[in-house]
Structure 1
Amino acid sequence: MLKDIAWVEDWHYDTGSEDEPLQFYLDALCNSTSFDLLLGYFSSSAINVLSLGFANFIYKGGKMRAVINNVLSEQDKNAIEKGQDKENFSTIYNFNNIKELESSLDQYGRHFFECFAWLIANDRIEIKIIKPKNRRGISHYKSGVFSDGENSIGFTSTCNFSYFGFIENLERLDCTLSWENERYLNKIKKQEIDFEIFFSEESDLVDYLEIKDVMVALKDEFGDKNIQELLIQEKDLLEKRNEIFQKSKIQKSIKNAIEHINQFIEIEKQPRFPYKEGPRSYQKEAYDSWFKNNKKGLFAMATGTGKTLTALNCLLNEYQNETSYKAIILVPTLELVEQWKEECKQFNYTNIITVSSKEKWKDKLSFYNTLSKLNDPSFIVIATYASFVKDKFQSFFKDLPKQTVFIADEVHNIGAPNISKLLPKIHLEKRIGLSATPNRVYDDTGNALIDSFFNDKDPYTYNFSMQKAIEEGYLCKYYYYPHVVSLTEDEFEKYREISKKLAQFIDSVTKSFKKCKEVEILLLKRKRIIHKAENKLPKFKSIINEEFQKRGNLKYTLIYTPEGVLENNDVIMEDNYIENEEDIFLIDQYTKAITDIDFSITARKFTSKTENRKSVIKQFSESDLHVLTSMKCLDEGVDVPRAELAIFCASTGNPRQFIQRRGRVLRKSKGKQFAYIHDLVVIPKFNMDKNDETFNIERSFILNEMKRVENFFSLAINKAEVYEKLSEICMHYNISLYDINNEN
């Protein structure tokens, strides 16, 4: 740090001597974490000259504060103005990479000013602009303090903080070291106090200006030699710069700065958490719980809270303890294979092997299996569940080192018969299961196998609920609007006839339907009536039109449409259908209804047949595409960075589906305050006679619909409004929204 540098013995730096002011700044920047500068004239060209030093300073988290005069170059003024507009600031460049940062600082052009604006927007350089009171001229302060958090160096200088000041002028800089004696320490403290008075805008000697009040330097208007520097082409100074850089002491300072950068580049190559603020507190808690549970467990985490980051952070902790990392990650879809791969790259994990029907993975995995027996390489294997169960993959899987971390995303898939039968053969001891809803519906056997395999404890090894995520501000709050949709008379008669037939298959002991083929067929027929329900589409059109009128647009809108195909005025479920060119899918009707509202609305279907899916999601996130309509493709495996409005036109009785769908729209994003969810709730026929022979069957159906409503309504901002809206229906069918999940 600062105390370790061989500073000039007499603490004087003079242009043209062996000890240039430039050398002082390079050494100070490379070994400091804060830099306060009080001066008359400032030009960001100084950052260009000191690019190596500034790259080190900024990469280590250094922050510069400057109080400057009110005369700037046009480029500097524009860059400061752009950076100060933090809300609207954006840049195409990534300045978090040390090599890219150093390159950006060393290019005097548009790229450089983008970098300068970025430093201001990210509070790495804070600037206050002053003008002397009651007199003409500019402020000629030229002093500052560098600090590493423990020691400080104060300096006063005759040279301006500019390219011209460092390269062209004959200048002197004197410095004071805080650790030399108490007198120098007090002198630096006095400098710090004086600076704080200016920076906190408490000085009576100057006026404080906004960037709009800054004067742009013009040759004809300002004759000062230092001002002219703004008009000098950089090429005219290059030869003099090169001359100075030939001096042995500056070369030594440059060499040290480059060594620092090379060290940082090596650090950057190591696995690390992708965000500088590090993992969130609950992600740390998840690792601690997993560690205490013998490195096994289920993480039940709400959609949008970063399950992937949480699991990869566990792997990062293992790497830090063992100096290598090994993991196999199982996912249900090809989209998730790609998403996990990208997330792994964000952590700087390398040697990533993807295993799916689209990959030639056999030789790669065989190579790492062989190498692991000779060495201790790091690698990550990401495979679909479909590939995992195949004999070809299992033959390689059994040879993976037992310290490999086994991660199962959407862990409920593990309980499926074709996968659960393999669990006893899995020898990997470190295990993580991830899901917003780990439990399998109506599958106690599968749930027991999952719990046993992950050594899970009730309720879970780690649980981060949606309620907690909303309360702690990780997901946004939302309004929920249920819309009751009844069947038409004709639909209801068909529905009622099927219900009568179903009544014959009710078990007198369990009070539920018997398990047989006839029941499956009847339930499917009844489900088709619900999906087709004529009144859904008009209700949907009404909701869409109302939202468009209220918002003025439909940006960031997700629509979950019914599945199926309209054919001969009947609906056929997609799973049981062979497509014909002339058939009309229900999703097409809903998509057309959106674009019919206004020609300015852009909407697109998002299905298994959608090409360039990443591009479509990107267009949606950037609002180039306003509305996405989907049936199931947005349920799992697709990361939607921003959505604000969602309309559920169809939902299954599986809580996993609607919980994940809700999570899609609750992710926080810049400029988003709340989410809004509309939900079509089907009621076969309200006010059915309680003595009707199918009343209890209808009540059972409504009860399942209301379970979804309760899940949504319980966390909504407008809970009282929802309760009042549905109270009449609930009273008629003797259903309590507050106690619905305790009812069998």
Structure 2
Amino acid sequence: MLTLTFEDGTVRVGGLAESDVSAADLPGVAWDDRGLVARAPAYRYADLRASLDERGLDYEDRIRPETNLNLSHAYDLRDYQRGALDAWHANDERGVLELPTGAGKTVVAVAAIAALGGSTLIVVPTVDLLNQWRRELETEFDISVGQFGGGEQTQEAITVSTYDSAYLRADDVGGDFEFVVFDEVHHLGGEGYRDVARLLTAPARLGLTATFERPDGAHEVIADLVGPKVYDLSVDDLAGDHLAEYEVRRIEVDLTPAERERYEEAQGTFVDYLKTSNLSFRSGSDYQKLVMRSGTDPRAREALLAKQRARRIMMNADQKVETLGRILDRHCDDRVIVFTAHTDLVYRLSERYLLPAITSETAASDRRELLERFRDGTYSRVVTANVLDEGVDVPDANVAVLLAGSGSEREFTQRLGRVLRPKTDGGAAILYELVSAETAEERVAQRRR
């Protein structure tokens, strides 16, 4: 009789000789010359069981934990949340849900955890999200929840982990969970993080994201490891009913004569190099090629530095700072989040307009305190560089100002999502997008929209 055992991030298939492996043709199973045993990647566990059951082969499964947590939740799921959950169940409890920020992805996941009632691992990108998930689960289920990350390593039937900690622990605990939830599942496309999913046997898998597709195509790898996208709704699908109505106002500003001169000089150096480099910058890989060339080619290094200077000039233009002042005056009674691309601009704006600042340099305790004061109304506006894009529980706001950002659709969607939660007064949300006219930032803005 065959036996299935979890071992170091793999499924060990006992009772199968080397000569039998090819003939058996079982999903993912190959012969391990070092261990002199047949093995399959852990994530093929469900496929392997299904194949053995279909063929009527006898086997002893020593992996699958027998857990019945008898969970219930108090959520009243909205129609689209119920539709998302049903679509996931219909796809054999595997797949990705793409829902906008503020649409209640966590609610759907909690309902899925309760429905399965089995041991569950939730994987999240940040310690802030880890703490947020743990509080939510302990409150909703009234049970002790384990934690991998944030200075703690405790395992329970339901455990929350950061991606980093899951990467370190998966080859040890990968056979202990029946269900795995990947929050912000697009992170799983990173080379190292893919192993988190590969080293887990959990048959049931759920991915949550506001933006599934990645520019590098890695979402196809995620689909193989977690399941395909089974349900998706856009911001426009939910605006007005379940999310706030919103408006995006694009404001073009002019560079000052001095900024224009410096910009044209830097951009010209960059463009001149492109003409002789066979690089078009139509894809992110061209930027990586330029970075690699800059290590040995002085002209490539000069072009790279020139591109960075031009980018900084157009993104941090003086007229953006002045325009922000007028926007803040116009929305003196609103809750405003200002997004920038550079930390030094955050501090410049903080000093100029007396705005609480949150950057990667802000201590976690200070950041929590600032956000709590924003939540309770002590502060009505904050300025940040990238830190609040995802992975942080950000209090409701109704105005966002995008002074600068990348061409990433994901980044834009996440920043818009910060002001889309329904307003108690039924009011609309506004996102101001400030763009330096007649610069490459116009193309950047077009790309992210």
TM-score, with structure 1 as normaliser? 0.46
Q: What displacement does 1:630 show?
A: 1.3
Mapped partners of 2:141, 2:445: distance in 1: 45
Q: Which residue of 2 aligns with 1:605?
A: 357
- In the alignment, is residue 450 of structure 1 matched against residue 201 of structure 2? no
**CA deviation string 1:436-481 (max 9, x = no partner):** 012222x12x22211221220xxx211122111115x110112322
* Corresponding residue for residue 444 of structure 2: 704
Amino acid at match of 2:174: K
**Separation in structure 2 between the aligned mates of residue 394 and residue 508 of structure 1, nearest angstrom:** 43
- The answer to whether the Cα contact below 8 Å between 2:128 and 2:393 also exists between their aligned partners in 1 is no
Match of 1:427 among 201, 209, 218: 201
Q: How far is the alpha carbon of 1:508 from its aligned partner?
A: 5.3
Pair 605,615 (structure 1): closer, same or farther in 2 beyond 3 Å: same
Asked if the contact 1:556–1:621 (Cα under 8 Å) also holds between the matched residues in 2, the reply is no
Whole-Å separation in 1 of the counterparts to 2:335 and 2:242 = 19
What is the match of residue 267 of structure 2?
A: 499
Aligned to 2:239: 470
Match of 1:398 in 2: 174
Does 1:547 pair with 2:301?
no
CA contact (8 A) 1:561 1:590 kept: no
Change in 2 beyond 3 A, CA 1:357/1:644: closer
The equivalent of 1:351 in structure 2 is 144
Q: Distance in 2 between matches of 1:516 and 1:707?
A: 21
**Structure-2 residue corresponding to 1:385:** 163
Q: Distance in 2 between matches of 1:614 and 1:633?
A: 12
Residue 181 of structure 2 aligns with an amino acid whose one-letter code is I
Deviation at residue 607 of structure 1 after TM alignment: 3.0
Cα distance change, pair 422–388 in 1 and its aligned pair in 2 (3 A):
closer
Say whether residues 1:303 and 2:55 are aligned partners: no
| Deviation at residue 659 of structure 1 after TM alignment | 0.7
Q: Quote the offset at 1:619 in angstroms.
A: 2.5
Contact persistence 1:682–1:705 (CA under 8 A): no
Contact 1:415 1:450 survives alignment (8 Å): yes
**Is the CA contact (8 Å cut-off) linking 1:274 and 1:346 kept in structure 2?**
no
1:209-608 matched pairs, under 5 angstroms: 271-275=71-75, 278-319=76-117, 325-359=118-152, 361=153, 364-365=154-155, 379-390=157-168, 393-401=169-177, 404-441=178-215, 443-444=216-217, 446-456=218-228, 460-471=229-240, 473-503=241-271, 504-505=273-274, 512=282, 513=286, 515-517=289-291, 518=300, 520-548=304-332, 553=333, 555-565=334-344, 586-595=345-354, 603-608=355-360
Q: How many residues align?
A: 363
Amino acid at match of 1:387: S
Note closer, same or farther for the CA distance 1:521–1:416 as it changes in structure 2 (3 Å cut).
Answer: farther
Q: CA deviation at 1:537?
A: 0.9
Q: Residue by residue, what CA displacement relative to the aligned partner does 1:590-617 show, whole Å, maximum 9, x if unpaired?
A: 123334xxxxxxx422234143544433
Q: Larger relative contact order (C-alpha < 8 A, sep ≥ 6)? A: 2
Paired AA for residue 486 in structure 1: D
Equivalent residue, structure 1, for 2:31: none
Q: Percent identity?
A: 25
Residues 648 and 481 of structure 1: is their aligned pair in 2 closer, same or farther, counting only changes over 3 Å? Answer: same
Shift of 1:355: 1.0
Cα distance between partner residues in 2 of 1:520 and 1:388: 36
1:665 and 1:313, CA in 2 relative to 1: closer, same or farther beyond 3 A? same
Cα separation, 2, equivalents of 1:629 and 1:355:
31
Per-residue displacement from partner, 1:182-201 (whole Å, max 9, x unpaired)?
A: xxxxxxxxxxxxxxxxxxxx
Q: Which residue of 2 aligns with 1:146?
A: none
Deviations 1:145-190 (A, max 9, x none): xxxxxxxxxxxxxxxxxxxxxxxxxxxxxxxxxxxxxxxxxxxxxx
- Alpha-carbon contact 2:170-2:196 (below 8 Å) kept: no
Q: 1:345 to 1:274 in 2, by over 3 A?
A: farther
**For residues 478 and 593 of structure 1, what CA distance do their matches in structure 2 show?**
28
Question: Where do 5+ consecutive residues of structure 1 fail to align?
Answer: 1-268, 320-324, 369-378, 566-585, 596-602, 686-697, 712-744
2:324 counterpart SS class: helix
Give CA-to-partner distance per residue, 1:4-61, whole Å, 9 cap, x none.
Answer: xxxxxxxxxxxxxxxxxxxxxxxxxxxxxxxxxxxxxxxxxxxxxxxxxxxxxxxxxx
Looking at structure 2, the residues matched to 631 and 642 of structure 1 have their Cα atoms a distance apart, in angstroms, of 18
Runs of 4+ in 1 over 4 A off after TM superposition: 506-511
Q: Which residue identity lines up with residue 681 of structure 1 in the other structure?
A: V
Q: Distance in 2 between matches of 1:410 and 1:526?
A: 32
Deviation at 1:704, TM superposition (A): 2.4
Alignment partners' CA distance in 2, 1:562 and 1:346:
36
Q: Which amino acid aligns with 1:663?
A: G
Q: Which amino acid aligns with 1:480?
A: V
2:46 equivalent in structure 1: none
Question: 1:526: Cα distance to partner?
Answer: 2.3
How far the C-alpha of 1:644 sits from its partner, in A, is 1.4
Equivalent AA in structure 2 for residue 559 of structure 1:
V
Find the residue that maps to 1:417 and give its secondary structure: coil
Secondary structure of the residue that 1:666 maps to in structure 2? Answer: coil
Distance 1:448 1:463 in 2: 16
How do residues 650-665 of structure 1 correspond to structure 2 at under 5 angstroms?
A: 650-665=404-419
Q: Matched residue of 1:381: which SS?
A: strand
